[in-house]
Structure 1
Amino acid sequence: MVRRSGEATREEIRVAAARLFRERGFARTSVRDIAALAVTNPALVIRHFGTKELLFLDTMRFTIDDEPLLDVPLERFGERFIDVVLSQDDIRGVYLALVRGSNEAQIKVRLQAIHERTFVEPVRARLAGPDADVRARIAAAVVGGLLYALWVVEDEALLAADRDELIARYGALLQQALTGPTSPRPTAAPPR
Structure 2
Amino acid sequence: MQPFRDVLDECSFMDMGHIGPQFTWHKHYARYTIWERLDRVVATNEWFDKFPDTKVYHLDVTTFDHKPLWVVLEIMECCQHRPFRFEQMWMTESGCSDTIEAVWRSGEVDPRSVKLLNKVDRCGIELTKWSKKIFGSVRAELEKKLLQQAERRAIQGGNTVWMRTLEREINGLMDKEAKMWAQ
**TM-score, scaled to structure 2:** 0.30
Q: Which has the higher contact order (CA 8 A, sep 6+)?
A: 1
More helix by share: 1
